[in-house]
């Protein structure tokens, strides 16, 4: 369901529809925002979307934001903090955040903004009818992670082995690795999975990859972008992730749904829910636009010449 469809639907909903019970008890509704990673660019893009629906933070809507800053083990504690703030809706960005919010409450509506593969991760029953208290956006990141291996084959036609960095307790890890395994099998690529919980594990992980002769790296999107990009550059490994902020930090490539769409398009869900819609009945939105972002500066630093055809297809090339 696209933004214009939400606007049309919202226009047909009477302004007198009741807000959730918590919002009725005060003049201004309150949002809880739960992030796995850093606050930007999520905060900027989400509030841009909210302004399109007439919501201004501090004026006609309040918000409490909590960020795990990449330490996923903190998310349950942060979700509990939001519940103590009596929020009316939780907006959770990335699969671990959605899972933490869902485990914390079955009552408060939760908007995924987004989650990598919400059906395979068990967050919703289906995209069409999510059920329960969770709805929002799917990033389709698992499928794209598999397809990113095709980009490596295009860049390095003779590539034999890729490494995959993943987090052992992230609910998205299972579908993420399954798609990579399918793609690697189809492309006849060997692959090595290395589990990391935090930045303290990264140096050893890269040493292991190097020792086992990995020629490229796929990084799970919720891992720490900056440190992984630094180490990939140090070890001269072409790298890809499902988040363009990884490329901005120095990673080689990202292949993902539009970042702006992912964050801005949470706003229509918030608007509908505040007007009385039930999350169980709001279909989950799939990405409509996909972007390839390439860091040409990184390519040159690791001695890689990128095919002109790939550069031409890229939505953005960072020089």
pLDDT digits over 153-181, tens only?
999 999 999 999 999 988 889 988 998 99
What average pLDDT does the segment 199-223 reach?
93
Give, for 265, the enclosing helix (H) or strand (E). Answer: none
Neighbours of 108 (CB within 10 A): 21
What average pLDDT does the segment 57-86 reach?
95
Give, for 77, the enclosing helix (H) or strand (E). Answer: helix 75-84
Q: What is the pLDDT of residue 8?
A: 43
Q: Which residues contact 66 (CB under 8 A, 6 or more apart)?
A: 32, 33, 34, 35, 78, 79, 81, 82
Instruction: Point out the least confidently predicted range of 25-39, 52-66, 183-197.
Output: 25-39
Q: Which CATH class is domain 3-139+258-289?
A: alpha beta
pLDDT at residue 134 greater than cutoff 90: yes
* Mean of the per-residue pLDDT values of the chain: 89
pLDDT at residue 3 greater than cutoff 70: no
pLDDT at residue 208 greater than cutoff 70: yes
Higher pLDDT among residues 26 and 96, named by residue: 96
Q: How far is it, in rounded angstroms, from Cα 166 to Cα 213?
A: 18
Neighbours of 315 (CB within 10 A): 14
What average pLDDT does the segment 59-74 reach?
94
pLDDT category, 26, cuts 50, 70, 90?
low
Please check whether the two domains, 3-139+258-289 and 141-257+291-318, share a CATH topology.
Answer: yes
Q: How far is it, in rounded angstroms, from Cα 109 to Cα 186?
A: 40
Q: What is the pLDDT of residue 107?
A: 95
Neighbours of 103 (CB within 10 A): 12
The answer to whether 242 and 254 are in contact (CB under 8 A) is: yes
Listed by start position, the domains of the chain span: 3-139+258-289, 141-257+291-318
* CATH fourth-level superfamily of 141-257+291-318: Response regulator (3.40.50.2300)
Which of 150, 138, 172 has the alpha carbon at shortest distance from 288? 138
pLDDT at residue 1 greater than cutoff 70: no
């Amino acid at each position: 369901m696209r933004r214009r469809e939400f606007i049309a639907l919202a226009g047909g909903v009477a302004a007198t529809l009741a807000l959730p019970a918590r919002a009725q008890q005060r003049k201004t509704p309150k949002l809880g925002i739960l992030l796995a990673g850093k606050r930007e660019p999520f905060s900027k893009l989400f509030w841009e979307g909210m302004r399109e629906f007439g919501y201004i933070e501090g004026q006609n809507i309040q918000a409490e934001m909590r960020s795990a800053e990449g330490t996923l083990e903190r998310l349950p504690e942060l979700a509990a903090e939001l519940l103590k703030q009596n929020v009316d809706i939780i907006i959770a960005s990335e699969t671990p955040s959605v899972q933490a919010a869902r485990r914390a409450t079955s009552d408060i509506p939760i908007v995924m903004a987004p989650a990598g593969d919400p059906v395979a991760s068990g967050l919703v029953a289906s995209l069409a009818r999510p059920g329960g208290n969770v709805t929002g956006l799917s990033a389709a990141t698992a499928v794209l992670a598999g397809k990113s291996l095709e980009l490596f084959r295009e860049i390095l036609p003779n590539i034999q082995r890729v490494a995959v960095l993943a987090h052992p307790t992230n609910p998205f890890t299972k579908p993420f690795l399954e798609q990579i395994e399918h793609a690697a099998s189809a492309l006849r690529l060997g692959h090595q999975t290395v589990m990391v919980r935090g930045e303290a594990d990264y140096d050893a992980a890269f040493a292991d990859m190097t020792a086992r002769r990995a020629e490229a790296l796929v990084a799970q999107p919720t891992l720490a972008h900056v440190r992984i990009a630094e180490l990939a550059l140090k070890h001269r490994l072409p790298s890809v992730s499902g988040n363009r902020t990884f490329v901005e930090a120095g990673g080689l490539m990202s292949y993902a749904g539009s970042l702006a769409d992912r964050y801005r398009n949470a706003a229509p869900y918030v608007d509908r829910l505040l007007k009385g819609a039930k999350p169980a009945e709001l279909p989950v939105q799939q990405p409509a636009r996909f972007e390839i972002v390439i860091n040409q500066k990184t390519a040159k630093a690791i001695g890689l010449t990128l095919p002109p055809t790939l550069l031409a297809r890229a939505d953005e090339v960072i020089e």
